Structure 1
Amino acid sequence: MEFEVKDMTCGRCAGHITKAVKEIDQSATVDVNLDQKRVKVVSDSTPEDLLHAISEAGYSPTLKG
C-alpha cells in the first residue's frame, strides 16, 4: 500500500509514522520517501487501519492507487 502524507516534512515525522504503523503491525515494512511525501507499507493490516494509525499520529494520509 502506498500513502501520500503531504504534512510529513522531516525525519522526525517519518519516525512518528513508522512507529504508528509498527504499533498495529510489528512485522510491517515501512519505506518513507520524504522528498515525494510518500509512505509505502507492506502489512497484513487493512488500508483503513493504517490510515487511522497515521491519522492518530497527527498526519493527513491519502491512500494512493
Structure 2
Amino acid sequence: MTERIQLGLTDVSASATPAAPASAVTEELLVTGMTCGHCAASVREELSEIDGVEAVTVDLVAGGTSHVTVHSATPLDDDALTAAIEEAGYIRVSA
C-alpha cells in the first residue's frame, strides 16, 4: 500500500525574482569591491537609509563590477548615492 503525504508546499519557481516596486525613478549604479552576500547587504543597507529610497537590488559579481539598482519615488542626489556606497566600503564606478 502506498500512502501519499500532502505537504502543502507552493511552487515558487515561476516567481523566483521579486517584482520591482512601481517607482517613478530607477537609478542603475556600478560598484566594485563586493565579494559576497554580506558585501551586497552592506550596500543595500546604506543606500536604503537615503530619504526617498523604496528598494535596492544588487546583482553581485564577486570580485568584479556589480550592478546596483535603486528605486525611488523622486530623483535622488547623486552625491548621496556615492557617499552611501563609500560608507559601506566600496567604490562606485562610472559607466
> Which TM-score band applies after superposition, normalised by the shorter structure?
0.7 to 0.9
**Larger Rg, first or second structure (1 or 2):** 2
| 1:3, distance to aligned residue in structure 2 (A) | 1.2
Does 2:59 match 1:59? no
Paired residue type of 1:39: V
If asked which structure has higher relative contact order (CA below 8 Å, sep 6+), I would say 1
CA displacement, residues 3-62 of structure 1 (integer Å, 9 cap, x when unaligned): 111101110001000100111236421111013611011123212211111111111012
Mapped contact 1:47–1:63 kept (Cα < 8 A):
no
SS in 2 for 1:2: strand
Does 2:38 match 1:12? yes
Which ranges of structure 2 fall in alignment gaps of 5 or more residues?
A: 1-26
TM-score (norm 1): 0.80
Which ranges of structure 1 fall in alignment gaps of 5 or more residues?
A: none
TM-score (norm 2): 0.58
Mapped contact 1:21–1:28 kept (Cα < 8 A):
no
Task: Note the aligned Cα RMSD (angstroms).
Answer: 1.8
Structure with the bigger percentage of helix: 1
Mapped contact 1:51–1:62 kept (Cα < 8 A):
no
The number of equivalent residue pairs is: 64
